[in-house]
């Protein structure tokens, strides 16, 4: 089977991986944004700021599940994050 | 108390007995925690102390030798240099970015602890083979980024270092960082409590649960759970570090503090005990006063937390207000946690209640641990490895060697470091064998870090000597006279007699060399247990040497690039044929073995004096020592950096011992040699000077053209354009590391 | 020439700039903590390099919201001179005092190295000591230095608001010698009244021949230019 | 009214701001991940990778709408993103 027919019937999915520091760890960037920007400029009501990185993949595959598991695998096996300090959650968005 | 079962697990039963006897009672759990921290290998040197005694530590310029957070050297005009070296191997192996970054933070705080401000950083890194291991590439990429992000952010230039790749570091990378500080002699304060009545102030980062697993780190499984409240990982915060540096610098200038002490391994437990024990004055501290990140921490957690970017200050009462104002200006959090007292105790309280009370006499040195030592048998096998057949096409071999990650230019690394900040970097990384900085008194100093685990594995004693020799030749090639070193000794489990023997031999090598030439060791560090938990295999013995040299004046500054066509290329020193541990054996032939070069400290010293003298006379235009890759690589680097070609004839080299083959002449790292470019018109003067110094030498060729042409008895061995060589040498490491792969 | 060097939490090159200015005859400078700085007392305000607020959020983004910046906006309106170097440039862009934005380098790495720059306009308060089109050497050291002009690059050139571009030794411009991927190799820009200059290269690090691998002091000319201008010589 | 009574009846909301490069701008990091990591390691099916930064705020307010509009305002007025090169979208997550 050539690659063309393999892709037949496949769709393009948006999959997002969110990589963030474990919640038990200090997030210095979030702290600075809160303390040196929001608080100093008089913004009240915000109690915490945490930062994360988002990777947005466009994945061609036959199903939502395939798209999600491919990205899950990529994140874990290609070490897009370090599990010692970070967590990574993956979810599929709408079909493009 | 939750931590009961986790405290005092590493002390042996004999050590516990000693504690009970010194104290005359059973310590409570908090007291155990203090002793545990203080008597850890990391803080007490209990396995290494007796061996380290071999090292010469005294010299006319040495103000403070090993024993404090940093060594201090008198550089004249009322100024001092401080220096320290640290490793962060275990943390970097699991979290390369944070581990390396917090390593920088730690060594910088050591420099602050003696009342000096950091002026330069160096790094020495060891990884597995990055050509085949994506894991090692991942480690290298993140370690370098960690050092860069932290060092750059705090505004301390990272100006020199070294990088070695070897299979034995695949699971245990080594990340050593060295910091140089400078200050006025009268502003120096030592980290000890010498007077009662001072307030104890804790400044900087909040205390949290991070790093609480630090001591028993190596045995933690790597996938620590997300829910777990405590973490072995420490998040670096260079912003707080920078504010601490700026605030402390101002406070040093205004003489506001009586003593400063960084919080490192063992956290407050170690810092408080050492302040008291070293100065002979007690401290009385309420741990509940510490500003914390989490509200529900136990006293033991506060006591042993290894949260980064914190410093303890001892402040006289009448200066407290000015100190507070300074800390507030820099928006640093702080808490006044206690005071120094006449009674010679470390007293710890929690909300006023006494929870621990240890007399200073108990805290003293941990009993030394006697370790068995045995020469490993594999050394004989290694040594008797037969030489390989000489390859036909040495031109091709040479091109391959230039691309070896151990030899290729390290610009991919050092260009990520801000090596210019501070406007004091006179010679930048890559331009000479050592980096040169301008000190606050206007004088110049050269610094460099060196190691060579491949040689130390085959012959620890000779290997260690060789590293010192290379380091001193690096300093001399840059125009500096070696003045002091720090050493960092890194090995596997000292409980293994083989490992311990190698440790002893490496220290002996450094000691013998330094003793012979009269250069003191002003500090150092020992890191054991660098072993793969799965296979139980230890790293190759890895001493690294950080050398400092002083230049008599600006005209002495020497770089390695060829400067002019038509000059002579002169090799100083005798070429010897030992190829054990050479990059030629290891990379081209995949041979680990053979004989490691033996260096002679006294003839090295003559060589060093000769090079410095030639420079002073103004006849020497460039200098570069012969190290990894041998003469051929040294010549190539000089040509590439100067964009000038050269010709050389190998048969002219002064040699010792048996007749050498072409590959030996090209790639031997043996003999202590320095290649120099000598002004052709003034060669007679140079020649006479070299005779006076009784240094063997030979003119082997000339500079010029755009080819690197090396012959043996008139027959072409190597012939490449400077451009071809540059393409190989300059970009190989970068190409390997580009992108994410 | 009276110069204030503004120090924010995390500024690194404040003393370095002071050192460079000490080499300018007749110039005087002081490092002033950002909350205490009154711009109108000086003829030049320098926002030095470094990592104000550790580059959190984005390089320069937090410092751009400090009260000093509000004062600087008025100062600039009144014709005061402001020079932003590296992080200082990033702050000025974030504060809207200069056009554009500074993105992470194309190679995604921090880069520290000496580069060649071509002088694009030598008829300003900051560049009158240079020759037009001259090639000069200065070091860069940044991670977020890729200048993005938001579609305004050509306009900047037309209005002669580009101060320096990255170039080769002969002044040629190409992607190869564009270290960070900046729009049209732009390394430094002026505001529309030429009293604000932001540049990624560090002139203060190129102000002493001893510290230059080329033995040059091209960077010093930025400060000499301002001194000329202030004296009324330009 | 003192601050205590002001906060009465208020709840803690999670609001997220997503900051990303305008789609017309090259995203070197996304490209590198795609080209040098995924493609080189033989991962197929992924057609694009873009990166974004996520700021996660805990906001105390009386309503979902208030929380969202506060963060929207903070993002725009304190320039949590640079409108020259980036876009920013804000959404409220679950109540904490
Ligand atoms: N990890 C590193 N960090 C900073 N600079 C480095 C590093 N590794 C190598 N360098 C620099 O690259 C140049 C060559 O280093 P090296 O190969 O160790 O030289 P040598 O063989 O003379 O010891 C030196 O200027 C050195 O400081
Ligand atoms: Mg060398």
**pLDDT at residue A51, rounded to an integer:** 97
Structure tokens at B704: 């010029």
The β-bridge relationship of strands B568-572 and B697-703 is antiparallel
Residue B417 alpha carbon, nearest atom of ligand 1 = 4
- H/E element, C175: none
- Residue C213: CATH number of its domain: 3.40.50.880
Mean pLDDT of B309-329: 97
B665 Rama sector, left if φ>0, alpha if ψ -120 to 50, beta otherwise: alpha
The helix/strand count (H/E) of chain D reads as: 3, 3
- pLDDT value at residue D1: 40
Residues in A touching C53 (Cβ below 8 Å): 32, 36
**Quick one: which H or E segment has residue B523?**
strand B521-527
The pLDDT of residue D9 is 74
In a domain, D1, yes or no: no
Q: Which tens digit of pLDDT belongs to each residue from B545-561?
A: 999 999 999 999 999 99
- CA-nearest residue for atom 18, ligand 1, is B162
pLDDT (tens digit per residue) in A36-49: 999 999 999 999 99
The region of weakest confidence among B33-37, B450-454, B666-670, D68-72 is B33-37
The pLDDT value recorded for residue A93 is 83
Which tens digits make up the pLDDT trace of B560-598?
999 999 999 999 999 998 999 999 999 999 999 999 999
Domains of chain B with CATH codes: 558-741 (3.90.650.10)
Report, as an integer, the average pLDDT of B611-622: 98
pLDDT category, D58, cuts 50, 70, 90?
very high
Query: Which of C9, C54, C62 faces A37 most closely, judged by CB atoms?
Result: C62
Which ligand has an atom closest to residue B729 CA? 1
Indicate the DSSP class of residue C192.
T
Q: How far is CA C19 from the centre of its chain?
A: 16
Q: If we measure between CA atoms, which residue out of C58, C71, C24, C29 comes closest to residue C229?
A: C24
What CA–CA distance (Å, rounded) separates C83 from C37? 15
B264 pLDDT band (50/70/90 cuts)?
confident
Could you tell me if B206 and B307 are in contact, meaning their C-beta atoms sit under 8 angstroms apart? Answer: yes
pLDDT band at B139 (very low <50, low <70, confident <90, very high): very high
Query: In Å, what is the CA distance from B584 to each residue of B170, B380, B430, B468, B612?
Result: 21, 21, 22, 21, 30
With cut-offs at 50, 70 and 90, classify the pLDDT of residue A9: confident
Nearest to B668 by CA among B731, B581, B547: B581
Residues with CB under 6 A from ligand 1: B 123, 125, 158, 160-163, 410, 413-414, 429-430, 433, 435, 450, 474, 625, 627-628
- Round to whole Å and give the CA distance between C46 and C89: 10
- For the segment B400-427, the average pLDDT, to the nearest whole number, is 97
Q: B416 and C111 in contact (C-beta within 8 Å)?
A: yes
Per DSSP, the residues of B55-67 read: S----TTEEE-BT
Instruction: State whether residue B281 is helix, strand or coil.
Output: coil
Domain count, chain C: 1
- Distance between CA atoms of residues B215 and C86, nearest Å: 41
| Spatial separation of the C-alpha atoms in residues B31 and B539, rounded to whole Å | 35
Q: CATH number of the domain that A70 lies in?
A: 3.30.1280.10
Q: A38 in a domain, yes or no? A: yes
Closest CA to B180 of B502, B529, B440, B402: B440
Nearest CA-CA partner of B530 in B107, B218, B129, B135: B218
Average pLDDT for B513-525: 97
Q: Is 90 exceeded by the pLDDT of residue D93? A: no
B401 touches B721 (CB < 8 A): no
Q: How is residue B225 written in tokens?
A: 């759970």
Domain tally, chain D = 1
ipTM above 0.90, yes or no: yes
A88, A68 contact by CB (below 8 A): no
Q: Computed from CA positions of residues C174, C177, C181, C184, in that sequence, does the dihedral angle turn out positive or negative? A: negative
Q: What would the DSSP string read from start to end of A71-89?
A: HHHHHHHTTSS-TTTEEEE
Report yes or no on D83 lying in a domain: yes
Among D43, B636, B284, B429, which residue's Cα sits nearest to residue A72? D43
- Would you say B235 and B210 are in contact if contact means Cβ atoms under 8 Å apart? yes
Q: Extract the runs of DSSP E, i.e. beta strands, from B353-494.
A: 353-359, 425-427, 435-438, 444-451, 481-490
In a domain, D4, yes or no: no
**Within a 10 A sphere around the Cβ of B377, how many other Cβ atoms?**
9
Predicted confidence (pLDDT) at residue B615 exceeds the cutoff of 50: yes
**The tokens of D44 are what?**
């197929």
Q: For residues B705 and B96, what is the distance between their CA atoms, to the nearest angstrom?
A: 45
* Residue of A29, A40, A41 with shortest CB distance to C56: A29
Which residues have C-beta within 8 Å of that of residue B715, sequence separation ≥ 6?
none
Contact A33 C65 (CB under 8 A): no
Reference B73, options B161, B157, B188; nearest CA is B188
Residue B263's closest CA among B318, B324, B214?
B214
What is the spatial order of strands in the sheet that A46-61 belongs to? A86-95, A11-21, A46-61, D46-61, D11-21, D86-95
B88 catalytically annotated: yes
pTM: 0.95
Taking an 8 Å cut-off on Cβ atoms, the answer to whether C64 and D29 are in contact is: no
Answer yes or no: is A3 within a domain.
Answer: no
B488 a catalytic residue? no
Query: Residue B137 Cα, ligand 2 centroid: separation in angstroms?
Result: 24
Grade residue B364 by pLDDT with cuts at 50, 70 and 90: confident
Query: What is the per-residue pLDDT for B4?
Result: 42
Does residue D34 fall inside a structural domain? yes
Question: Which residues, including other chains, have CB under 8 Å from residue B556's CB and lie 6 or more apart?
Answer: B444, B479, B480, B612, B615, B616
**A55 found inside a domain:** yes
B247, B260, B290, B633 from B338: Cα distances, Å: 21, 14, 10, 59
Q: Indicate the SS3 state at residue C109.
A: coil
Closest ligand, as measured to the CA of B467 = 1
Q: How far is the CA of B547 from the centre of ligand 1 (A)?
A: 13
Contact between chains at C54 and B243 (C-beta distance less than 8 A):
no
- Domain with A61, as residue range(s), is 10-95
The answer on pLDDT for C17 being more than 90 is yes
How far is residue B342's CA from residue B358's CA, in Å, rounded to a whole number?
14
pLDDT at residue B1 is higher than 50: no
Nearest to B426 among C20, C202, C211 (CB): C211
Tell me how far the alpha carbon of residue C111 is from its chain's centroid: 17
Portion of chain B with pLDDT greater than 90, in percent: 85
Residue with tokens 């090295």: B604
In degrees rounded to 5, what are phi and psi of residue B579?
-115, 5
Please indicate whether, in this complex, the C-beta atoms of D29 and C94 are within 8 angstroms of each other.
Answer: no
Count how many pairs of residues, chain A against chain D, have C-beta atoms within 8 Å.
100
Position B252 pLDDT exceeds 90: yes
User: CA-to-CA distance for B117 and C165, rounded, in angstroms?
Assistant: 36
* Angle subtended by helix axes B683-692 and B601-617, to nearest 10: 150
- Are the C-beta atoms of residues A90 and A74 closer than 8 Å to each other? no
Distance B448 CA to ligand 1 centre (A): 8
* Alpha carbon distance B549, B479 (integer Å): 9
Q: pLDDT tens for residues B154-172?
A: 999 999 999 999 999 999 9
CA distance B90 to B225: 18
| Record: contact B426-C16, CB cut-off 8 A | no
Task: End-to-end CA distance of chain D: give it in Å, rounded.
Answer: 26
Beta strands across the sheet bearing B282-286: B259-262, B310-316, B198-204, B334-341, B282-286, B345-350, B353-359
Q: Flag whether pLDDT at C1 surpasses 90.
A: yes
Residue B351 Ramachandran class (φ > 0 left, ψ -120 to 50 alpha, else beta): left
CB C136 within 8 A of CB C130: yes
The pLDDT score that the predictor gives to residue B210 is 74
Report yes or no: B738 at the D interface, CB cutoff 8 Å.
Answer: yes
User: Residue B609: helix, strand or coil by DSSP?
Assistant: helix
- Pairwise CA distance, residues B254 & A59, whole Å: 62
Mean pLDDT of B173-186: 97
Q: How far apart are CA C178 and CA C167, in angstroms?
A: 7
Centre of ligand 1 from the C-alpha of residue B188, in Å: 31
Q: Give the Å distances, CA to CA, from B176 to B134, B150, B179, C225.
A: 21, 14, 10, 44
> Cβ–Cβ contacts within 10 Å for residue C232, how many?
6
Could you give the CA distance from residue C109 to residue B739 in angstroms, rounded to a whole number? 10
Which pLDDT band, with edges at 50, 70 and 90, does B220 fall under?
very low
Q: Which of the residues of C are catalytic? A: 86, 202, 204
Nearest-CA neighbor of B183 among B252, B255, B241?
A: B252
Q: Quick one: B291 exposed, middle or buried, by C-beta within 10 A (0-12, 13-18, 19+)?
A: middle
Could you give the CA distance from residue C8 to residue C55 in angstroms, rounded to a whole number?
Answer: 12
> What pLDDT was estimated at residue C232?
85
Q: What is the mean pLDDT of chain B?
A: 93
Residue D51 forms part of a structural domain: yes
**A56 near D29, Cβ under 8 Å?**
no
């Amino acid at each position: 089977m050539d690659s063309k027919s393999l892709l037949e019937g496949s769709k393009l999915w948006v999959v997002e991986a969110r990589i963030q520091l474990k919640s038990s760890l200090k997030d210095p960037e979030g702290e600075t944004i809160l303390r040196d920007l929001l608080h100093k400029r008089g913004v009240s009501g915000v109690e915490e700021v945490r930062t994360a990185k988002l990777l947005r993949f466009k994945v061609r595959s036959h199903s939502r599940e395939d798209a999600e598991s491919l990205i899950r695998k990529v994140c874990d096996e290609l070490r897009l994050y370090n599990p010692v300090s970070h967590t990574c959650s993956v979810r599929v968005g709408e079909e493009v | 108390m939750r931590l009961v079962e986790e405290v005092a697990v590493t002390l042996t039963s004999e050590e516990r007995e000693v504690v009970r006897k010194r104290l005359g009672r059973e310590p409570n759990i908090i007291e155990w925690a203090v002793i545990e921290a203080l008597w850890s290998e990391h803080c007490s040197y209990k396995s290494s102390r007796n061996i380290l005694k071999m090292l010469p530590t005294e010299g006319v310029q040495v103000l403070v030798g090993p024993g404090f957070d940093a060594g201090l050297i008198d550089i004249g005009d009322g100024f001092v240099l401080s220096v320290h070296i640290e490793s962060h191997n275990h943390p970097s192996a699991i979290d390369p970015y944070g581990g390396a970054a917090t390593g920088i933070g730690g060594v910088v705080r050591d420099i602050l602890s003696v009342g000096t401000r950091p002026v330069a950083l160096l790094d020495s890194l060891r990884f597995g083979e990055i050509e085949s291991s994506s894991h090692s590439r991942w480690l290298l990429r993140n370690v370098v980024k960690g050092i860069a992000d932290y060092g750059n952010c705090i505004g301390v230039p990272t100006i020199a270092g070294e990088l070695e790749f070897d299979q034995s570091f695949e699971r245990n990378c080594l990340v050593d960082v060295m910091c140089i500080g400078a200050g006025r002699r009268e502003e120096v304060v030592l980290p000890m409590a010498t007077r009662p009545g001072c307030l104890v102030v804790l400044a900087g980062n909040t205390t949290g649960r991070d790093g609480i697993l630090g001591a028993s780190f190596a045995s933690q499984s790597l996938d620590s759970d997300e829910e777990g409240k405590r973490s072995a990982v420490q998040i670096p915060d260079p912003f707080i570090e920078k504010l601490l540096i700026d605030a402390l610098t101002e406070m040093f200038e205004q003489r506001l503090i009586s003593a400063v002490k960084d919080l490192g391994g063992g956290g407050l437990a170690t810092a408080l005990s050492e302040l008291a024990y070293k100065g002979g004055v007690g401290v009385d501290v309420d741990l509940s006063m510490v500003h914390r990140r989490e509200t529900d921490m136990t006293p033991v957690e506060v006591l042993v937390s290894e949260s980064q970017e914190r410093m303890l200050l001892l402040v006289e009462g009448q200066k407290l207000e000015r100190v507070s104002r300074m800390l507030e200006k820099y928006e640093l959090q702080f808490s006044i946690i206690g005071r120094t007292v006449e009674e010679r105790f470390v007293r710890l309280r929690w909300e006023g209640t006494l929870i621990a009370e240890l007399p200073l006499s108990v805290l003293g040195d941990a009993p030394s641990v006697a370790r068995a030592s045995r020469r490993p048998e594999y050394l004989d096998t290694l040594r008797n490895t037969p030489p390989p057949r000489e390859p036909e096409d040495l031109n091709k071999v040479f091109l391959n060697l230039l691309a070896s990650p151990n030899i290729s230019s390290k610009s991919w690394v050092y260009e990520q470091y801000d090596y210019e900040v501070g406007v004091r970097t006179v010679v930048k990384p890559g331009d000479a064998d050592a980096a040169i900085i301008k000190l606050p008194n206007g004088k110049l100093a050269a610094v460099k870090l060196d190691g060579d685990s491949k040689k130390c594995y085959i012959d620890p004693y000779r290997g260690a000597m060789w590293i010192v020799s290379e380091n001193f030749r690096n300093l001399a090639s840059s125009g500096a006279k070696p003045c002091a070193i720090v050493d960092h000794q890194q090995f596997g489990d000292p409980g293994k007699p083989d490992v311990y023997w190698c440790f002893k031999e490496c220290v002996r090598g450094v000691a013998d060399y330094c003793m012979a030439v009269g250069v003191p060791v002003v500090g150092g560090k020992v890191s054991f247990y660098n072993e793969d938990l799965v296979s139980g295999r230890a790293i190759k013995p890895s001493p690294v040497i950080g050398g400092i040299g002083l230049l008599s004046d600006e005209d002495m500054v020497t770089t390695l690039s060829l400067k002019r066509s038509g000059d002579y290329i002169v090799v100083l020193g005798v070429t010897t044929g030992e190829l054990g541990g050479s990059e030629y054996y290891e990379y081209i032939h995949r041979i680990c073995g053979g004989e490691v070069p033996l260096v002679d400290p006294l003839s090295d010293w003559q060589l060093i004096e000769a090079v410095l003298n030639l420079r002073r006379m103004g006849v020497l235009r460039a200098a570069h020592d012969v190290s990894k890759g041998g003469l051929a690589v040294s010549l190539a680097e000089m040509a590439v950096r100067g964009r000038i070609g050269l010709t050389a004839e190998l048969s002219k080299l002064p040699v010792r011992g048996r007749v050498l083959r072409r590959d030996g002449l090209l790639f031997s790292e043996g003999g202590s040699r320095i290649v120099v470019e000598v002004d052709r018109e003034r060669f007679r003067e140079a020649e006479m000077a070299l005779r006076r110094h009784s240094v063997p030498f030979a003119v082997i060729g000339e500079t010029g053209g755009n080819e690197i042409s090396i012959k043996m008895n008139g027959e072409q061995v190597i012939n490449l354009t400077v451009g071809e060589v540059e393409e190989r040498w300059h970009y190989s490491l970068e190409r390997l590391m580009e992108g994410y792969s | 020439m009276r110069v204030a060097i503004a120090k924010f939490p995390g500024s690194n090159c404040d003393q370095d700039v002071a050192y460079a200015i000490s080499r300018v005859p007749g110039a005087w400078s002081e490092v002033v903590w950002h909350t205490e700085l009154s711009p109108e007392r000086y003829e030049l305000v320098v926002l030095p390099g470094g990592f104000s607020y550790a580059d959190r959020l984005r390089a320069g983004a937090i410092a751009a919201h400090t009260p000093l910046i509000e004062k600087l906006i008025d100062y600039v309106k009144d014709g005061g001179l402001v020079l932003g170097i590296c992080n200082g440039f990033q702050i000025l862009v974030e504060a809207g005092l200069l056009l554009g934005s500074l993105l992470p380098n194309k190679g995604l790495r921090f880069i520290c190295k000496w580069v060649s720059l071509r002088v694009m306009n030598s008829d300003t308060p900051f560049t009158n000591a240079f020759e037009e089109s001259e090639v000069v050497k200065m070091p860069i050291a940044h991670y977020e230095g890729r200048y993005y002009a938001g579609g305004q690059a050509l306009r900047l050139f037309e209005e002669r608001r580009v101060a320096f571009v990255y170039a080769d030794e002969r002044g040629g411009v190409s992607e190869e010698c564009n270290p960070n991927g900046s729009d049209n190799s732009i390394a430094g820009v002026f505001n529309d009244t030429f009293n604000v200059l932001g540049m990624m290269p560090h002139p203060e690090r190129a102000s002493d021949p001893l510290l230059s691998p080329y033995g040059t002091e091209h960077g010093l000319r930025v400060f000499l230019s301002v001194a000329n201008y202030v004296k009324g010589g330009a």
